[in-house]
Amino acid sequence: MKLLTFLLCLVGMSAHATPVFQPQPLAAEAYGEAYTAVASLEDGSFVLVQLMFSNAGIGSRKAACRALWVPPGKAGINASTKMDADAWSYEASTDLLTAGQCSLGTQGQGLRFSTKLAELEVVLDIQAKARAVRPPGHRIDAQQSFYEAEILVPAAPVTATIQSGGQTLNTKGSVHIDHSRSNILMPNAAACWMRFRGFFGAQPTLIQVRVPPGGGTPDGWTWPLSSSAPTKASQFKIGKNDRGQPVLTLTSSAGDVKLEATRQLYRYRPTESYGALGRLASPWIGDPTTTTYRAKATTNGGATVSGILETLEVDDPGCVAQ
């Protein structure tokens, strides 16, 4: 555990020289932007918190705050709220982004991502500074539109405080933060994304694979966090195990890796969760489904790392290469 903490702190040491939590809204109706934290906690919980910004539907520069908590062996609690443009702000002097009672910004020597919603309150105190890392293929351009994503915290120790149903949980774990921004119709960006945050093991590792619209040859990258930067991957094979859960093998200069889901945690469809707003946004985002799993990655040498796998299926054929 001490070695893991040391590696994660090393990765998070360097702060980005300019503000990283300032949204950059676009005039396009298809504009969307999100800051997302994913945490795996020592008590067995999984947590996701998000701040999102969009022009979809009626009005522009709307914001939404979302928190998801999946306690071990229980159904998840998913809470969210949406707000108009005048309910969120960014303070440049402190690099603090606030939307309603949710916020993301610097806190002492680290970061704090806080969400206060009617059903769920989550505070993540993160032992890292944010720095923007743009992995291979971080930007997709199609039909005069784009999607781009960057990693702000690859992995770092986190202390979590979670309140729901009159109970409070204080625990620790590891967290990842990323930031995406686009004005593209999401079905034009990908049929599927697979994102693995491998927090626990001898070699903490991140993996991402994208299946292009309509299928075809995937692209992606892998990042053993002892390395200075992500590495482009090749020779992808996407399938399912005997439980119908995702299996991915890929090759890169860092070596071969087999990634396999071990247990489903949660399934999420925003067009259902956001009701009328979700239906209004469907022409731009499609009808995506995000399924979250516990997962394990294994190298050819037998080293393993465990963490969280998300599969985001945007459009047919989904997470299947053709």
CATH number for the domain including 65? 2.40.370.10
Mean pLDDT of 261-275: 79
Q: What is the CATH number of the domain that holds 313?
A: 2.40.370
Q: What pLDDT is stored for residue 38 in this prediction?
A: 98
Domain end point (choices 122, 153, 184): 184
| Burial class of residue 265 (count of CB atoms within 10 Å of its CB; 0-12, 13-18, 19+) | buried
Are 200 and 319 within one domain? yes
Are 160 and 223 within one domain? no
Q: What pLDDT is stored for residue 3 in this prediction?
A: 38
Are 69 and 170 within one domain? yes
The encoded tokens of residue 182 equal: 């686009």
Are 240 and 107 within one domain? no
Mean pLDDT of 295-313: 93
Question: Is the pLDDT at 6 greater than 60, yes or no?
Answer: no
Q: What pLDDT is stored for residue 56 in this prediction?
A: 80
3-state helix, strand, coil in the chain (%, to 5): 10, 55, 35
* pLDDT tens per residue, range 66-124: 999 999 989 999 999 999 999 999 999 889 999 999 999 999 999 999 999 999 999 99
Task: Output the pTM of the full model.
Answer: 0.89
Are 267 and 142 within one domain? no
The encoded tokens of residue 106 equal: 């610097």
Euclidean distance between CA atoms 106 and 245, whole angstroms: 38
Mean pLDDT of 57-64: 85
Are 117 and 70 within one domain? yes
Domain end point (choices 184, 205, 224): 184
Q: What pLDDT is stored for residue 64 in this prediction?
A: 94
Question: Is the pLDDT at 283 greater than 80, yes or no?
Answer: no
Q: How many domains does the chain have?
A: 2
* pLDDT tens per residue, range 125-169: 999 999 999 999 999 999 899 999 999 999 999 999 999 999 999
Sign of CA dihedral 123, 148, 288, 248: negative
Domain span at residue 176 reads 1-184
Are 152 and 213 within one domain? no
Are 10 and 131 within one domain? yes
Percent of the chain with pLDDT over 70: 88
- Mean pLDDT, all residues of the chain: 88
Collapsing DSSP to helix, strand or coil, 103 comes out as: strand
Q: What pLDDT is stored for residue 270 in this prediction?
A: 74
Are 141 and 8 within one domain? yes
Domain end point (choices 128, 160, 184): 184
DSSP structure string for 179-247: EEEE-S-GGGT-SEEEEEEEEEESS-EEEEEEEPTTS-S-EEEEEETTSSS-EEEEEEEEEE-TTS-EE
Are 170 and 227 within one domain? no
Of 91-95, 222-226, 271-275, the poorest mean pLDDT is in 271-275
Are 241 and 320 within one domain? yes
Are 137 and 196 within one domain? no
